[in-house]
Amino acid sequence: MTAENASPENPSALPAAERAGTRALPQDLVDVRALLAAYTERHPDPADPAQRVVFGTSGHRGSSLKTSFNEDHIAAITQAIVDYRAAQGVTGPLLMGRDTHALSGPAQDTALEVLMGNGVHTLIDSRDGFTPTPAVSHAILALNAEVPAGVGSSEAGAADPAGQADGIIITPSHNPPADGGFKYNPPHGGPADSEATDWIADRANELLAGGLDQVRRLPLAEAKRHEALGTYDFLDRYVSDLPKVIDLDAIRQARVRLGVDPMGGASVGYWGEIGARHGLDLTVVNPEVDPQWGFMTLDWDGKIRMDCSSPNAMATLIGRMTPDEADGDGGEIPFDIATGNDADADRHGIVTGDGGLMNPNHFLAVAIDYLYRHRHGWPAGAGVGKTLVSSSMIDRVAAGLGRDLVEVPVGFKWFVPGLLAGTGVFGGEESAGASFACFDGSAWSTDKDGLLLCLLAAEIRAVTGQSPSQYYAELVEQYGDPVYTRIDATATPEQKARLKRMSPADVTAEALAGEPITAKMTEAPGNGAAIGGLKVTTANAWFAARPSGTEDVYKIYAESFLGAEHLAQVQAEARAIVDAVIA
């Protein structure tokens, strides 16, 4: 806990973490003018690692105030993407969407200047609005399905790249208001793989080091008049196609009362249209868009963060779903299901009146059990996709369904091939990100879709008569009640590197928290890809250790079906096992 927010201007004078879950105060808000000024005025030093282009699992992220997300970065990254797609033979339109972060608008302008300078056919939102990540992914797949089949297929299952569309999404997802983000989705519609992002980052840093001399760019006014610039109605395509993937008739006929909170993000214009066009009892509880996010409650560390899986960030919506017992007989809960999305709507948060905010792992287990029992058009042999740090409750649910478990490393990109090929009809991450196939088994999106999972919660309520919380309680009765958590442990860059290079032979322990070890993994069993760390399992518990990409820590994920005390023992022994190897 820190006291960084205590100040004479702070009337509460409380440390930031003690104010978690409370409304943001003026001193918590970013100075938007300074943020936008820094975007153009500050220029990165290519020799400083903190100011170079770095692509993580969700693109390049940073802040103009830290000289890690500035005009130079976006110009260089966009040119690098232009060069990459040319090298790959991608000749179709490039679709570009942005979220509501303050830096997203200027970044889109910079990108347009470079794209038009290169004559790249680019489509932006026809309504000049905000565009969720899943809407861009769905649009890429929809457009590419209309392109005549090419001469062959790529390994990911996409058609020949000639004539295929791809996309840029400008968002740092749930990150604080001072941040910006920029990511590339190839013609398969999902997040770019490491080979692509490494190439793009290297090229962008080369361009930065060269003073942007090789960046082709037009003035903004000229770029906006360029013949290569067009528009696309992302919202209409997404909302019109929803009956292909969600049983909206059931939701409407059951009169499920749905309350949605866009949390100031890109889904703000989508939810109202979804409700109106499909006749749903749907209320947008907060339509406000504010680049400071002054209406938010603070997250666990006292920061404003649009994390719809966080009880602190979701405190306002949770409060709406909590009966007021001040009068002794309780108040009426206004909605059957309440949901939240992060800024680019690729994550979901599910709130029920009987259970509060659902743990993301719990809802994933419910979604999987429900979908595989109710999507009769899905291939009988399609497996259940999960990341290796997601709950083992999913393993037990998959076994109960008679479905193969496909366990992959962290990152939604690993689900893309299966979703495209139809061999994987569901992919989910422990961080509240997931997507699944249409009723006929075809791909809906190959990126995470928070709106889709929120609508699924309403469908589950409509079809089963149960809230997702009640549904999960039945799974617990059948499969057990796991306890799950994640902690961070300090590590130097050298120690993190050793952790990333670990092999199963490095682990000499034969037992974990009193149970025999059943597996020691440094590769994901679902696809054989390196997990960049270690996972150790027993019959009733597991832990996974992975180095952080941004901090001098490593993350320990752990779970036990034997209770909280056993989980604590698993965590302690996990840290000892890892430290013995990396020390």
Rounded Cα distance, 577 and 72, in Å: 44
Instruction: Give Cα separations from 499 to 485, 530, 579, 581 (angstroms).
Output: 20, 12, 9, 8
Quick check: 375 and 460 in contact, CB under 8 A? Answer: no
Q: Are strands 59-63 and 55-56 parallel, antiparallel or unpaired?
A: antiparallel
In this structure, what is the dihedral angle of CA atoms 141, 452, 244, 237, given to the nearest 10 degrees? -50
- At 73, give phi and psi (nearest 5°): -60, -50
Beta pairing partners, 555:
488, 546
Which residues contact residue 484 at a Cβ distance below 8 angstroms, ignoring those fewer than 6 apart?
Answer: 359, 361, 391, 557, 558, 559, 567
Contact 141, 189 (CB under 8 A): yes
Cα–Cα dist 196/7, whole Å: 45
- Which residues on adjacent β-strands are paired with residue 183? 169
With beta carbons less than 8 A apart as the criterion, state whether 33 and 298 touch: no
| 173 counts as catalytic | yes
Q: Do residues 344 and 99 lie in contact, with contact meaning Cβ atoms separated by under 8 Å?
A: yes
Q: Are 101 and 181 in contact (CB under 8 A)?
A: yes
Report the Cα–Cα distance between both ends of the chain, in Å, rounded.
27
CA distance 519 to 504: 9
Which member of 63, 68, 173, 392 is catalytic?
Answer: 173
Q: What is the DSSP letter of 49?
A: G
| Dihedral, 355, 357, 361, 367 alpha carbons, nearest 10 | 70
> CA-CA distance, 100 to 232, in Å (whole number)?
18
Concatenate the DSSP letters of all residues of 426-495 into one string: EEEETTTEEEE--TTS--S-SS--HHHHHHHHHHHHHHHSS-HHHHHHHHHHHH---EEEEEEEE--HHH
- Give the list of residues 6+ apart from residue 539 with CB closer than 8 angstroms, or none: 515, 516, 518
What tokens does 11 get? 């009337």
Q: Which residues are catalytic?
A: 173
